[in-house]
Amino acid sequence: MISGKSVQEALEKKKGAVVRVEKVSFSYDGRVDVLKNISFEVGRGDFTAIMGPNGSGKSTLIKLLIGLLKPTTGRIEVMGLDPAEDPRSVQRVVGYMPQRDSISKNLPVKVSDVVLLGRMSRKGPLSITTPSDLREAKRALEYVGVPELWNRPFSALSGGQQQKVLLARALAVEPQILVLDEPFSAMDVPSQESIVEILNALKEERGMTIITIVHDVNPILHHLDLLMLLNRRVVAFGHPLEVLTDRYLLETYGAPVRTVTCESGYCHPILGDRHA
């Protein structure tokens, strides 16, 4: 069992970070802080998960990382770039997979349109689709294992298929960092396992830096390098063996969380219907 370390000690020892967040706070219209004094670093090739209760600021933190929001105070660097000052440059090196519900089920678009959207949004409103765009979009769809869906309506796909298409969209921009917002939501177990295999391959084969919000961390727990427990502030951050303790889970969720320890020594939280 790895001995416990403070967040500050982990930050001091971390080298070669590609994401740096320093004393970041954020509030809407100067009201109550959604996030308060957030500091952490993610190294190149790290697989990092963020979990916490509903309203804990997880999605807000992701939006700050990719430049959709600006910190009220503090500073963020992504690949040496400031998302608040240069969001377009940051979004060129980050592949973002939003929640599936963010795309209307009634929108009459094909899978090809969804996958290409990521590349085209980075090129500007007057850009045209090039052979390179088509090649990378098809390559991304093949990488996630569903090239046959290219001409299918997105709305006609199963939940698992839609998640793979959204992952392909994020990969089509040839990112150095992959950011995902609840990639396992509303998926059956086989689909979850398939996504986990893809993410692990991206980490192992490409050295991809991955940051994901999760409700249920258990599908990816054994693959993670770093785990953050967040509830408007960083409750704990480090290796999952350090972070997933009864004390930190209680502090994060405000109530005891039942856990099961596996043979490898990992503490698996059983969150039931709690939305995280």
Q: Are 166 and 98 in contact (CB under 8 A)?
A: yes
User: What CA–CA distances, in Å, run from 120 to 69, 126, 175, 247?
Assistant: 21, 9, 14, 46
Tell me which of 3-7, 13-17, 270-274 is least confident: 3-7
* Token output for 183: 């990639």
Distance, CA of 64 to CA of 85 (rounded, Å): 11
Distance, CA of 213 to CA of 228 (rounded, Å): 9
pLDDT, tens digit (0-9, with 9 covering 90-100), for 73-102 = 999 999 999 999 999 899 889 999 988 766
Q: Are 202 and 210 in contact (CB under 8 A)?
A: yes
Distance, CA of 176 to CA of 269 (rounded, Å): 30
Positive or negative, the CA dihedral 66, 68, 69, 75 is positive
| pLDDT band (50, 70, 90) for residue 271 | confident
pLDDT, tens digit (0-9, with 9 covering 90-100), for 98-151 = 887 666 666 788 999 999 988 887 776 667 889 999 999 999 999 999 999 999
* Mean pLDDT, the chain, whole residue set: 88
- CATH for the 7-104+176-270 domain, from 3.40.50.960, 3.30.70.3190, 3.30.160.150, 3.40.50.300: 3.40.50.300
Q: How many CB atoms lie within 10 A of CB 88?
A: 12
pLDDT, tens digit (0-9, with 9 covering 90-100), for 159-207 = 889 999 999 999 999 999 999 999 987 788 888 899 999 999 999 999 9
Q: How far apart are the first and last CA of the chain?
A: 26
CA atoms within 13 Å, Cβ hemisphere of 157: 29
Kindly report the pTM of this predicted structure.
Answer: 0.88
